[in-house]
A and B are shown apart, each in its own frame.
Chain A
Amino acid sequence: MTSGSTQAHAPTPTIPGELKVIHDATCTFCGCVCDDIELTVKDDHIIEAKRACALGKSWFLNHSVEDRPSCTIDGNPASLEQGYDRAAQILTNGKYPICYGLSDSPCEAQRVAVSIVDWINGTIDTTTSVCHGPSGMAFQGVGEVTCSLGEVANRGDMILFWGSNPAESHPRHFTKYSLMPKGMFLPNGRKDRTCVIVDVRRTKSAKAADIFIQIKPKKDFEALWTLRALAKGIELDPDLVHRETGVEFSVWSDLMDRMKACKFGVIFFGMGLTMTRGKHVNSEALLALTRDMNAHTRFVAKPNRGHGNVTGADNVVSWRTGYPFGVNHARGYPRFNPGEYTTSDTLANREADCAMMIACDPMANFSQPAREHLATIPYIALDTKETPTTRSAAVAFAVATYGINTGGTVYRMDDVPIPLRPAFASPHPSDYDVLTAIEVRVKKILGIT
Chain B
Amino acid sequence: MPETFILIPGRTTDQGCGVSEGKFNDRYQKAINALQVAPGDMTRLGLAEGDRVRLTGEEGQTVEVCITAAKKDELPEGLLFIAYGDISSRMMTGDTHGSGMPTSKGMEVTMELIQKVVA
Q: A: which residues have CB within 8 A of B?
A: 29-30, 54-55, 58-59, 61-63, 125, 129-130, 133-134, 137, 165, 168-169, 171, 200-204, 214, 217-218, 271-272, 274-277, 279-280, 306, 325-326, 338-339, 342-345, 348-349, 361, 364-370, 385-388
A218 to B8, CA, bound (A): 10
User: B100 touches which one: A129, A200, A385 (CB < 8 A)?
Assistant: A129
Given contacts A200-B79, A276-B106, 6 further A-B contacts (CB under 8 A): A129-B101, A217-B106, A279-B103, A338-B101, A345-B100, A349-B94
8 Å CB interface, B1-53 against A? 6, 8, 10-13, 16-18, 20-24
Contact A365 B84 (CB under 8 A): yes
Q: Given that A58-B17, A58-B21, A201-B8 are contacting pairs, would A369 and B94 also be in contact in the complex, using a CB cutoff of 8 Å?
A: yes
Interface of B is mostly: loop
Min Cβ gap B48→A in Å is 22
How far is A137 from B76 in the complex, measured between Cα atoms in Å?
Answer: 31
Q: Which of A200, A349, A361 contacts B8 (CB 8 A)?
A: A200
- Determine the chain B residues whose CB is within 8 A of the CB of A344 once the complex forms: 94, 96, 100-102
Indicate which residue in B20, B61, B100 contacts A339 across the interface (CB closer than 8 Å). B100
Q: In the bound complex, how far is the Cα of B10 from the Cα of A203, in angstroms? A: 10
Would you list 12 pairs from A and B whose C-beta atoms are within 8 A, ordered by A residue? A129-B100, A202-B74, A217-B6, A217-B106, A275-B106, A276-B103, A279-B97, A280-B99, A339-B99, A349-B94, A367-B89, A367-B93
Q: Which residue of B lies closest to A370 (CB)?
A: B94
Contact: B16 with A55, CB < 8 Å?
yes
**Central interface residue in B20, B24, B73, B92, by most chain A CB within 10 Å:** B20
Distance in angstroms between the alpha carbons of A271 and B106 in the assembled complex: 11
Q: Is there an interface contact between A364 and B20, defined as CB atoms closer than 8 Å?
A: no
Q: A339-B98, A345-B96 are in contact. Are A58 and B89 (CB under 8 A)?
A: no
Residues of B within 8 A of A62 (CB): 20-22
Contacts of A277 in B (CB 8 A): 103, 106
Interface pair B89/A364, CB less than 8 Å apart: yes
Are B20 and A201 interface neighbours, CB within 8 A?
no
Contact status A201-B76, CB under 8 Å: yes
* Set of chain A residues within 8 Å of B17, measured between Cβ atoms: 54-55, 58
- Knowing A62-B21, A165-B10, A364-B86, say if A133 contacts B100 (CB, 8 Å): yes
Provide the bound-state CA to CA distance between A279 and B23, in Å: 28
A279–B95 CA distance with the chains assembled, in angstroms? 13
Residues of B within 8 A of A387 (CB): 23
Residues from chain A with a CB closer than 8 A to the CB of B99 are 133-134, 137, 279-280, 338-339, 342
Whole-angstrom distance between the alpha carbons of A203 and B100 in the complex?
Answer: 27
Interface contact B90-A368, CB-CB below 8 Å: yes
For residue A30, which residues in chain B have a CB less than 8 angstroms away from its CB?
16
The minimal Cβ–Cβ distance linking B110 to chain A, given in whole angstroms, is 16
Which residue from B98, B102, B105 sits with its C-beta under 8 Å from A271?
A: B105
**Complex interface: chain A residues within 8 A of B81 (CB):** 201
| Contact (Cβ within 8 A) A202 B11 | no
- Asked if residues A388 and B23 are in contact (CB atoms below 8 Å), the reply is yes
Residues on B with C-beta less than 8 A from A168 are 10-13, 16
A325 lies within 8 A of B76 (CB)? no
Cα separation A365 to B101 with both chains bound (whole Å): 12
Identity of the chain B residue whose Cβ is nearest the Cβ of A401 in the assembled complex: B20
Q: For residue B78, which residue of chain A has the nearest CB? A: A217
A134 to B104, CA, bound (A): 13
CB–CB A342/B103 < 8 A: no
Closest A residue by C-beta to B70: A201
Chain B nearest CB from A135 CB (Å) reads 10
Specify which of A59, A134, A326 is in contact with B20 (CB 8 Å cutoff): A59
From the candidates A276, A345, A386, name the one contacting B24 in the complex (CB within 8 A): A386
